[in-house]
A and B are shown apart, each in its own frame.
Chain A
Amino acid sequence: MSDPATMHVFDDTEAMEISFGPQHPATHGVLRVMVKLDGEKILDAKPIIGYLHRGTEKLFERETYNGCIPHTDRMDYTAAATNNQGLVLAVEKIMGITIPPRAAYIRMILAELQRLSSHFIWLGTHVLDIGATTPFFYTFAEREVLLDLFEEYCGARLTLNCMRVGGVPYDLPEGWTGRCRAFVDQLPAKIADWERLLTNNRIWKERTVGIGVISAAEAIEWGLTGPPLRGSGVRWDIRKVFPYDRYDEIEFDIPIGTHGDTYDRYLVRMEEMRQSIRIIRQCLDRLPDGPVMAKVPKTIKPPLGEVYASVESPKGELGYYVVADGSDKPYRLHVRPACFINLQAMPEMIRGHLVADMIAVIGTLDIVLGEIDR
């Protein structure tokens, strides 16, 4: 700080309110933030959302249960597989369906590949926002190879629609496991390369250390889940707390941070990528034989009742609350979106920072507007 005595003081300044977005490339979609600025310092921020609202929850009510699955692809469009997984788990819970072990393992492989691909997008765009262009090309190059695996499995690269109530629609193609293993085997070296560019990079640390700090207690109060919660030092992950599919048979660690800042969340996600690789390897080693679909009635008609099931999506806790009325369509199907809840804490995290830091915080929350607006 300069010496107040020699500092020129503007008595007649007032806070300026500007609209940031919704077309700004650094807002990761159509997020708009009304920011109140004192010079370059953020006094307050108010996210305005809904530009991508498609009434998904209303659309669910006219679809059959399996017909809802393609709609979930389009919520968090960087993580379609985990979106599918949450919905089918909820319906299986209410129907009392146990899925065959091979289906569960295929689901876990797809979900962890999806986590990797989502984290690739996060890393590339987050780093690009802050000013480093190179990692974007590295991560997106890997993502292309990863999406080839999805394409080979289900024909789609982005909107996968790759799970059904009772299992998965297809068995793995011939030779897929080998190609998947080859992909994950070369990945740790790539991740180490990316980390060499960033982890001890002085510019990167200047931009992320101490930015967007949120304490563990505040993080729980604001309902944060996923890496933003774990970055604050809470070792909490749906895969461990309420294991679904066969996560209870797999060994993996939950990385946590200590300071709850942008840098710690970065470290958490980098380690999560390695843990995902570890999970995929174990799944490929143990992949059981057998059917990939349980015996499920042709028309899925859950009894009257309500169930909530959630998965650890790459962004946090993604939950589905299903209210069934005995017909073949959900009476009400509510999504508990991880990004929507995580974004709510953003003003809390950026108050007092500079405008440029807001970009870092938006990046570190890893939001996808498709899921926020639904």
Chain B
Amino acid sequence: MFFQVLFRVLGSSDLWQATLQFAALLVLPALAGVISERSGVVNIAMEGMMLTGAYVGVMSALATNNVFVGVLGAMIAGGVMALIHAVVSINFHANQIVSGLAVNIAALGLTNYLLLVQTNGQGVPHLVNALRLPIVTWGPLANIPFLGPVLFQQNIIFYVAIVILIATQFILFRTNVGLRIRAVGEHPQAADTAGVNVRLVRYLCVIAGGFLSGLAGAFLAMGIAGIFNSNMTAGAGYIALAAVIFGKYNPLGAGGACLIFGLGEALSTRLQDTGISPNLLSTLPYILTIIALVGLVGRTIPPAADGIPYDPGSE
């Protein structure tokens, strides 16, 4: 019975459309993680940056009645949360995992509080269609059976995410900037003596990650859901972190991992009527996360100086 439903679901283009959508949602914070860790800063704050981005995105879109302002606001909000993590980790040499966690907790509390204040406890802010991030349909391409809706009828941010994914891979491995980023992450002292501004590189990478996570937040709230709900990211930022490790700190690898996690998420909502408890099903993506982290963290080698604050005077 279960397998019948499973195969039926796997054969539907609706599942794969949802898979790609979730994957796109995850890949943005995953890229944030990759960029940050490649420069040597452990970043688990994608969750908080996304959530803040989602909130600010919705609120600023409503306030100005402009969807672009919303997206911009979301990105800036993500950037600000990232800046906090950056200052604490890079300038004050704090434990980067603690710092990231702190950002996540703060984001949750902050958004919940502001939500309460804003709505006076009367429901959640809704976005009218005009203020939502639209789905882009590529004309006749969307009519191709099965692949059509999967590839050519996705939210605009999906396509943006693909472009960013390719750009990140290219920049990181084919440009001088990317070389410097990777050098800083492996051996910041060597990069420093070679004349690279280690601090600046790390700041820029973490903040760039903030922009990407904020954008993901906008995608979630303004594109997929159309509302802002308390804790609506529901751990997606942590799944993105697992994708970073699963993908061996490579943009393309992380993208692949996001596809797998996206599939898990999409399946969990579509296998409801197989008799398996829906609660159990909804744990699927998180179980995949744990398996990935437990199975691969030991074996995947992060950049050599990842997580170690850079102290120029030390030897």
Q: Are A and B part of the same complex?
A: no
